[in-house]
Structure 1
């Protein structure tokens, strides 16, 4: 699954265009590497997003193509640093 689509489906970022812009500006990392909007994400990958002074990290648990509010939480695990 593309990273911009994953960010939208998991409800980390509400719109795919915003997720795409975040990737293009170098704010999104997959396994500590800056990614492009079309890069693929897999189960077990670590995603980090740089929002101002915070950098939340998530582990991909499941890939769901058409997620809704109820199953979006199953897609990721929030990591503490």
Structure 2
């Protein structure tokens, strides 16, 4: 799944266009490297979001759809 879509599906970022813009601005790191919105997210990746205060999560599951209740089950917060 694309990085921008993953961020939207897991509700880490509210809209896909905002996730896309954050990737273009270099605010999203995957495994410590700046990532483009088209990056293919895999289980085990560490995603760092630098919007306001940094948030690092580890990808536990990649699913095309998630409800509000199951969205947080797709990642684990590593650092806040």
The answer to whether TM tops 0.5 is yes
TM-superposed deviation, 1:70: 1.1
- 1:50-69 paired onto structure 2 within 5 Å: 50-52=50-52, 54-69=53-68
Kindly report structure 1 stretches of 4+ aligned residues shifted beyond 2 Å: none
- Give the secondary structure class of the aligned counterpart of 1:70: coil
- 1:42-57 paired onto structure 2 within 5 Å: 42-52=42-52, 54-57=53-56
Question: 2:36 matched to which residue of 1?
Answer: 36
- Give the secondary structure class of the aligned counterpart of 1:56: strand
Alignment size in residue pairs: 80
Question: 1:26 matched to which residue of 2?
Answer: 26
Runs of 5+ in structure 2 lacking a partner? Answer: none
TM-superposed deviation, 1:51: 1.4
Runs of 5+ in structure 1 lacking a partner? Answer: none
CA RMSD of the aligned region, Å?
Answer: 1.0
TM-superposed deviation, 1:80: 2.6
TM-score (norm 1): 0.94
- Give the secondary structure class of the aligned counterpart of 1:6: helix
CA distance in 2, matches of 1:9, 1:34: 20
